[in-house]
Amino acid sequence: MKKEVSEKSNSGYAAPALEKGLDILELLSKSESGLSQQEIAASLGRNLNEIYRMLTCLVERNYISNQANKYALTSKLFQLSHFHPPTYRLLSESIPVMEKLSSDTSFPCDLRVYNHGVQTVIAAIQPPNGVGFMTRVGAELKVGISASGYVLVALQDPIIRQMRMEESLANESPALMKNFKKETEKVLKNGFASIKSNQYAGLQAISFPIFDQHANAIAALTVPMLARIDEEAQMDIDFVREKLAEASRLITNRIALNP
């Protein structure tokens, strides 16, 4: 059935062509392997001619690519988001500190931000030896099962905290919601999160907040500590936590000095 398009947007003005393009981008953002023109048309309830014109324009502007008749997002939207001044400043101040943190601890580290019910990885640094548990830059991850998720929700103004909790846990089980609230209470008390992974054996995740000028966590700096089973020595958890706290304070101070 063809998708119904409202005559007017909430502002009182219709922009059907823009809506079609945005519908395509949002649909492709959820596809890992790309979609054909027919699949896109069927999913959106539109005819092939409408979709063809939109796809041609988006390909020409390099927002999507067409490989073997499959359309997929390019990295352009991700790149544009990084040129947005607040994100660019956060990255430019964080990356040198993250590189030193990874070098000092010999563990990877990453930086995540909250994004409409999920968390997005915006930077990741490998240790000098190139070994460790890494998360791909651009990955969108669930909030409710990770140390960084607890930090990004807990360390907010109470109203924002409640909104994020409701948004990110909307489809989760009562048991997970109960555990999430318990963990966020710990974060509020301790100022950081340190948990054993709910998904991977031998993985301890430690996450500290990066604060804005209003003392809300705008990002979570995380070190995933993957335990070795050979005789190679590793930094202990107390040392890593100390270095991570130091790094998060430094980034927070840099952002405060360069608003």
Q: What is the rounded distance in angstroms from the CA atom of residue 203 to the CA atom of residue 190?
A: 20
- Could you list the pLDDT tens digit for every one of the 259 residues in the chain? 444 444 344 555 567 888 888 899 889 888 878 899 999 999 999 888 888 888 999 998 888 888 888 998 876 776 565 445 467 788 889 999 999 999 999 999 999 999 888 899 999 999 877 666 778 888 888 898 899 999 999 999 888 898 888 888 988 899 999 999 999 999 999 999 999 877 776 788 999 999 988 889 999 999 998 776 665 666 789 999 999 999 999 999 988 755 5
Supply the DSSP symbol for 2. P
List the domain boundaries for the chain. Answer: 16-74, 79-257
- 126 φ, ψ to 5°? -90, 150
CATH number of 79-257: 3.30.450.40
CATH 1.10.10.10 fits 16-74, yes or no: yes
What residues form DSSP beta bridges with 71? 35, 66
Q: Where are the alpha helices (DSSP H) in 84-204?
A: 85-105, 147-154, 158-168, 174-190
- Residue 88 and residue 223 in contact, taking contact as beta carbons nearer than 8 Å: no
pTM attached to this predicted model: 0.67
